[in-house]
Structure 1
Amino acid sequence: MKVLFILLYIIIAIQTQIHLCFGNVTATQMLILPLMIQETGSESWPRELNNLSFNHNVTLTVSLSVGTPQQNVTMVLDTGSELSWLQCNTTTGMARPMFDPTLSSTYTPVNCSSPTCTTQTRDFPIPTSCDSNKHCHAMLSYADATSSEGNLASDTFNIGASGMPGTIFGCMDSGSSSNSGEDNKTTGLMGMNRGPLSFVSQMNFSKFSYCIPGSDHLGVLVFSDGNSTWLKSLNYTPLIQISTPLPYFDRSAYTVQLLGFKVSEKMLPLPESILEPDHTGAGQTMIDSGTQFTFLVGPAYTALKNEFLNQTNGTLQVLNDPDYAFQGAMDLCYLLPLNQTNLPVLPSISIMLDGAEMNISGDKLLYTVPGEVRDNSWVACLTFGNSDLLGIEAYIIGHHHQQNLWIEFDLENSRVGIAPVQCDIASQKIGS
């Protein structure tokens, strides 16, 4: 049986009054991209080694065009990655839509002697390698043993009527995939972290924001150098920056200070030492649009799981299967009768950050596993997982728990703004 999943598509809609000048980018107004929800076939998305290694049922994607003449592409929007890349049309038999560099007059491979190739980044540690044409060779490896390989290149990325020439990206012409037989709908990935090769760094905007809809409504993605004057209630949490390289700390990630968790109004009694990075960098808290759910380090997850179990005792029937863990890391699951249409009242979970709070309630707390039926009941799992089970020593706040929140990445002031909003209303306010 083919299971249908949801993909969030960012559909480009540029208004005529927007003026953009790419290269040395300036913006007199906001660049606005609406989000819609659309169903598509099941797909698996590989993640980089220092991110999560499981299949994502929901991804955020942006549709734009690349090259001259323009070729339409769809890219996963990922604040947890740096290098943007496209699957290029130099091999056959690939199910994923591809970009053909031979058809673009503005496509330029990056030479091995280029500073872009010789400067160390998270994605390309020194030394880099060269192909037979002395082009900068790129190889990305993933935690599920898949890989993507090709060359660094530049081309014009077009958003509506505006273009950004000379954008650096990976043009991947080969690789292994955990889902090569699936009907993939995306051409590549758009890296949006703080690294020098990320898309937002190359665009040179001082901030970007998004609002992810929680149901069949419009959301919005905004690039802007201005203030969100219509939104008065943003609470800011500072971005943590560590200048010294640490083995398990991603300095390009959007890392924030975690203060703890509340279940209903009960603050979990967690020691401060497990809520912040240790001397190796392990234990950072990242906001990641490329991850679906939220993952906590082992001790914090255990405390949250036990308290949620305690507060739902007698309300929900626990799945009694110690060998079952959804996506390998979410092992608190319940049985919901097939004829049950509404969830009972559940205790809310709050993620407490320095200066801001993310409150998760209602249907965002449980995820019904597609096709998983036990004893005439659906299996529904808590949408928090144990990052230790994935071999990831970090807290990762996924986009499922960012629904109906305005998330502003203020790069100039090194902070993240968070405010609860209805994404369809936010879209109307910004588009008016």
Structure 2
Amino acid sequence: MGCCSHFNFLFLCFLLIFSNIISTSIAKKSSSSSHPHVKTLVLPVTKVHSNFGPDQYVTEIKKKTPLLPIKVSIDISLDKPFLYCERSYVRYTYKPINCSSPLCSFANYPLNPCYSDNTCASYTYNNIGDRYASGQLIQDIVTVKSIDGRSVSVPNFIFVCSIETFSLGGLASGVKGKFAICLSPFESSNGSIFIGNGPYVLQPGNIDVSKFLTYTTFITNYYYREFYLLLKAIKVDGKLVPSDTWKYKLTFNYDKSDINGGTKIGTVYPYTVMDSVILSSVVDEFVKALGKNIPRVANVTPFDVCFNSTGIARTHLGPAVPTIELVFNNNAVWKIYGANSMVEVSKDVMCLAFVSKKGGFWSRATVEIGGYQLEDNLVQFDLDNHRVGFSSSLLSKRTSCSNFKYTNHA
């Protein structure tokens, strides 16, 4: 591909769906070269402010021939990568996928749309801009870094190429794309995307944080291929939140087209979104556990409950407030401490970082774990074993997602 000055990119990533393809390509390339085998890829991730809505998590890849750096926004709820291509897109290394290819069937099942030239068409959805997009399914070269800092080229990366400018709506200023995760809460420091088995080593002390992972099963919806978890209960300060009125809402028929219910992980929403009945129960228990010495104050949009924070102490885990625990199948517990449960909205006011679906954050899921709860947490998607691993806050290990450095430990 030649370098085009007006090349625009929308990468609505679900990079993990194709990570096995990437890993295979890298293994073949490494085994036939003088370089040692590459096991893990790393992309830096920065939290950026958006003028159009919630803050977004952005990374950068290098694309085309010659290589061109492209910014992409992270969205782990997308079914396939998506690229906006202007008509001036020069296609030296571009490879269209034939309509009869198994890749075309995999990307579009149960449909199999084709263009008149027998190339594969495909569709995806921009969750941030709330709009559909379509285009030609193609392969091209993507270059990223390995965990030790070497550049690695993936020659046959799959994405949808579209000329629909409508598809770009809602992205942060300067962002031409989308991608999954160890997120930093600060705009001034990077988190990381790791693609591969690790180790995921953070400083200080060369800590392999993959050793702290607790695993639970994930299920992908038959049509939408999003990551759903089996949430069984919620605890506040070690006590079960009464669930008689809402526990049924956590169930979900994952194998059918019914798209409401269940619990999933996403990066589009800044905070965890809950059904209003569930959130009300959580708030009641949280307020009781926090105690009468921490008075409530007027709510600040979009939050459902806020507090006078002058009496809340600070610790290395954030504000000293009751721990919220999400209990999944096999009794896997994701602990949410103050750093991920409280948002400081002004000098003397903090709000609980969980929001109601009725407050304008629409989600197909009953509970959708949002970006704020993922920050300084390592979350690993193990596709081969259909499970998700989570570390809970890395602050409890005296490290954070901004502490990755490229070193020779691949």
* TM-score calculated relative to the size of structure 2: 0.70
Which of 211, 214, 235 pairs up with 1:262? Answer: 235
1:386 and 2:361 aligned: no
Shift of 1:83: 1.0
1:406 and 2:403 aligned: no
Specify whether residues 187 and 259 from structure 1 end up closer, same or farther in structure 2 by C-alpha distance, changes over 3 A only. same
Specify whether residues 391 and 275 from structure 1 end up closer, same or farther in structure 2 by C-alpha distance, changes over 3 A only. closer
Aligned to 1:309: 287
Asked if the contact 1:217–1:424 (Cα under 8 Å) also holds between the matched residues in 2, the reply is no
Specify whether residues 157 and 212 from structure 1 end up closer, same or farther in structure 2 by C-alpha distance, changes over 3 A only. same
Q: Which amino acid counterpart does residue 174 of structure 1 have in structure 2?
A: E
Which of 79, 89, 97 pairs up with 1:101? Answer: 89
Measured on the aligned residues, the alpha-carbon RMSD in Å equals: 3.9
1:362 and 2:338 aligned: yes
Which of 252, 265, 271 pairs up with 1:293? Answer: 271
Aligned to 2:10: none
Which of 410, 423, 426 pairs up with 2:400? Answer: 423
Deviation digits for residues 31-53 of structure 1 (CA, Å, limit 9, x no counterpart): 24263646x55244xxxxxxxxx
Aligned to 1:9: none
Aligned to 1:7: none
1:136 and 2:120 aligned: yes
Shift of 1:107: 1.2
User: Unaligned stretches of 5+ in structure 1?
Assistant: 1-19, 45-54, 91-99, 193-209
User: Unaligned stretches of 5+ in structure 2?
Assistant: 1-22, 31-36, 146-150, 201-206
Secondary structure (helix, strand or coil) at the match of 1:78 reads coil
Which of 166, 184, 189 pairs up with 1:213? Answer: 184
Whole-angstrom CA distance in 1 between matches of 2:402 and 2:105: 46
Asked if the contact 2:184–2:402 (Cα under 8 Å) also holds between the matched residues in 1, the reply is no
Which of 49, 53, 56 pairs up with 2:54? Answer: 56
Asked if the contact 2:76–2:267 (Cα under 8 Å) also holds between the matched residues in 1, the reply is yes
* TM-score calculated relative to the size of structure 1: 0.67
Task: Indicate the structure with greater helix content.
Answer: 2
Asked if the contact 1:87–1:172 (Cα under 8 Å) also holds between the matched residues in 2, the reply is yes
Q: Which amino acid counterpart does residue 273 of structure 1 have in structure 2?
A: Y
Asked if the contact 1:288–1:396 (Cα under 8 Å) also holds between the matched residues in 2, the reply is yes
Asked if the contact 1:298–1:386 (Cα under 8 Å) also holds between the matched residues in 2, the reply is yes
Specify whether residues 140 and 380 from structure 1 end up closer, same or farther in structure 2 by C-alpha distance, changes over 3 A only. farther
Specify whether residues 335 and 226 from structure 1 end up closer, same or farther in structure 2 by C-alpha distance, changes over 3 A only. closer
1:168 and 2:158 aligned: yes
Further displaced range: 284-293 or 24-33: 24-33
Whole-angstrom CA distance in 2 between matches of 1:42 and 1:387: 21
% identical aligned pairs: 20
Aligned to 1:347: 322
Shift of 1:186: 1.9
Specify whether residues 388 and 136 from structure 1 end up closer, same or farther in structure 2 by C-alpha distance, changes over 3 A only. farther
Aligned to 1:50: none
Whole-angstrom CA distance in 2 between matches of 1:257 and 1:136: 35
Shift of 1:282: 3.5
Whole-angstrom CA distance in 1 between matches of 2:211 and 2:46: 27
Alignment of 1:4-23 (within 5 A): 22=25
Shift of 1:167: 1.7
Asked if the contact 1:346–1:361 (Cα under 8 Å) also holds between the matched residues in 2, the reply is yes
Whole-angstrom CA distance in 2 between matches of 1:349 and 1:70: 45
Whole-angstrom CA distance in 2 between matches of 1:26 and 1:309: 56
Whole-angstrom CA distance in 1 between matches of 2:51 and 2:401: 27
Q: Which amino acid counterpart does residue 42 of structure 1 have in structure 2?
A: S
